[in-house]
């Protein structure tokens, strides 16, 4: 694997500051009730995990994740305007405003979502990888899965199927230490999560410090190459989330020592700072580019908020029923009874 070039590192910085700005803006907008709903899970603190690993992909590869999906969408190049509009449930959102925070997706970017049911996307990941293999394509499916989700049945079935069929999939376990408020040690018999690969004869690429984008990229490149040629691979990314599990989590109430723990991660393992320090030590004449990316992130997110707030809600009966699969007689009854009232 070639070391990341200066241009790559600067682009990673651009992506990471965009994600942080987007996520922290979402947090503020939720507090101000300008984003509503009961679910929103932020990627702040996880940035290097997504950015470093997806840098190892080709455009034709596939990506799928769970509900902590905003950062993944932005890395893939989805328009922050469409993502922010989706956050606000607007018609101009990436899923027409009907998916919201947990259901971002973009066919154009081979981004297959955004899923709310813990582990529910893992059989889909195996299916996407099976399609590639069946049709002799050499595309890889990069799949992100939380530490908590590795304890659920979907994970084990999907890993097993990927092993018996040699599917080109990279299972990235994003171990942020918790599933909601439950520590990994209380939820998993095997706390070295990447070792769960062994049970299915899958190659593990070990445990990676996922606050360091360079290390993430190095291991992901090896795993992606392996998956493309041979079959499934597992990597464990050790990371940390800076906000509560989601907006319904009253910011770490369950964990007394959280402020100390959080402070430690932010001070010593801050992914954007680690990347920035690396760029500054390895390359000259970068200050202006770095500052440019920071102001561009602010401008893009500000523009996205303005766009989203100015957009319409999908509030006609026709909009409500589009892409909704129900028996036609039920549609008829529903339309005649409540349709007129909604339109």
Ligand X SMILES: Cc1ncc(C[n+]2csc(CCOP(=O)(O)OP(=O)(O)O)c2C)c(N)n1
Q: Which is nearer to Mg ion, 29 or 142 (CB)?
A: 142
The reply on whether position 102 binds ligand X by CB under 6 A is no
Stretch that binds ligand X, among 51-59, 99-107, 144-152, 248-256 (CB under 6 A): 144-152
User: What tokens does 201 get?
Assistant: 């004869």
Out of 15, 49, 65, 176, which residue is the one contacting Mg ion (CB under 5 A)? 176
By CB neighbour count within 10 A (0-12 exposed, 13-18 middle, 19+ buried), where does 7 fall? exposed
Could you give the string, one character per residue 158-197, with x where binding to ligand X holds by CB under 6 A and - elsewhere? Answer: ----------------x-x-xxx-----------------
C-alpha distances out from residue 129 to 122, 134, 208, 220, Å: 11, 9, 24, 17
The footprint of ligand X on this chain (CB under 6 A) covers a number of residues equal to 14
Residue recorded with tokens 């990436």: 94
Residue 198 burial (CB count, 10 A): 13
Binding status of residue 239 toward Mg ion by CB under 5 A: no
Integer CA distances (angstroms), 230 to 151, 163, 201, 221, 227, in order:
26, 10, 13, 14, 5
- Which CB sits closer to Mg ion, 92 or 101? 101
Residue labelled with tokens 């990316």: 293
The single residue among 61, 69, 139, 147 that binds ligand X, judged by CB under 6 A, is 147
Q: Is 146 in the site for Mg ion (CB under 5 A)?
A: yes
- Where do runs of H (alpha helix) occur along the chain? 6-31, 47-54, 70-75, 80-87, 122-134, 153-164, 184-187, 213-229, 258-268, 271-282, 287-310, 317-321, 328-334, 340-342
Q: Which residue lies nearest ligand X, judged by its C-beta?
A: 146
Look at residue 112 and give the partner it binds from Mg ion, ligand X, none, a contact being a CB closer than 5 to 8 Å depending on partner kind. Answer: none
User: Are the C-beta atoms of residues 122 and 158 closer than 8 Å to each other?
Assistant: yes
* 254 in contact with ligand X (CB under 6 A): no
Separation between Cα atoms, residue 136 and residue 10, nearest integer Å:
35
Place of tokens 């026709």: 318
Return the number of the residue (216 or 297) whose C-beta is nearest Mg ion: 216
Tell which one of 70, 237, 243, 245 touches ligand X (CB under 6 A): 245
> Which range of residues in 13-21, 98-106, 179-187, 251-259 is near Mg ion by CB under 5 A?
179-187
How many residues are there in the chain?
343
Q: Using CB under 6 A, which of the segments 78-86, 132-140, 145-153, 320-328 binds ligand X? A: 145-153
Considering beta carbons, is residue 79 or 249 the nearer one to Mg ion?
A: 249
Give percent helix, percent strand, percent coil of the chain, each to the nearest 5: 50, 10, 40
Of ligand X, Mg ion, none, which one does residue 117 interact with (CB within 5 to 8 Å by kind)? ligand X
Enumerate binding residues for Mg ion (CB under 5 A): 146-148, 176, 179
Enumerate binding residues for ligand X (CB under 6 A): 68, 116-118, 146-149, 174, 176, 178-180, 245
């Amino acid at each position: 694997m070639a070391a990341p070039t200066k241009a790559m590192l600067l682009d990673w910085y651009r992506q990471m500051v965009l994600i942080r700005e987007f996520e922290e803006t979402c947090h503020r907008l939720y507090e101000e009730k300008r984003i509503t709903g009961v679910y929103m899970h932020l990627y702040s603190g996880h940035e290097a995990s997504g950015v470093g690993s997806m840098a190892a992909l080709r455009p034709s590869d596939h990506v799928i994740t769970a509900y902590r999906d905003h950062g993944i969408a932005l890395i893939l190049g989805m328009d922050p305007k469409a993502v922010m509009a989706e956050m606000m449930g607007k018609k101009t959102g990436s899923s027409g405003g009907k998916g919201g925070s947990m259901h971002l997706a973009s066919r154009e970017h081979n981004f297959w979502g955004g899923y709310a049911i813990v582990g529910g996307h893992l059989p889909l990941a195996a299916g996407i990888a099976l399609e590639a293999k069946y049709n002799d394509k050499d595309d890889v499916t990069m799949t992100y899965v939380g530490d908590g989700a590795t304890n659920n049945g979907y994970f084990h079935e999907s890993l097993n199927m990927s092993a018996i069929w040699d599917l080109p999939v990279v299972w990235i376990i994003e171990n942020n230490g918790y599933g909601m408020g439950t520590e990994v040690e209380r939820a998993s018999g095997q706390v070295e999560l990447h070792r769960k690969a062994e049970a299915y004869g899958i190659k593990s690429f070990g445990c990676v410090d996922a606050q360091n984008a360079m290390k993430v990229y190095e291991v992901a490149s090896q795993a992606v190459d392996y998956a493309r040629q041979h079959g499934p691979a597992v990597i464990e990314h050790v990371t940390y989330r800076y906000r509560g599990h989601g907006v319904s989590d009253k910011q770490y109430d369950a964990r007394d020592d959280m402020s100390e723990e959080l402070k430690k991660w932010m001070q010593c393992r801050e992914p954007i700072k680690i990347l920035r320090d690396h760029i500054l030590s390895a390359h000259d004449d970068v200050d202006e580019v770095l500052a440019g990316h920071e102001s561009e992130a602010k401008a893009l997110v500000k523009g996205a908020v303005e766009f989203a707030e100015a957009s319409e809600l999908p509030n006609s009966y026709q909009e409500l029923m589009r892409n909704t699969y129900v028996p036609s007689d039920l549609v008829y009854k529903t339309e005649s009874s409540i349709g007129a009232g909604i339109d």
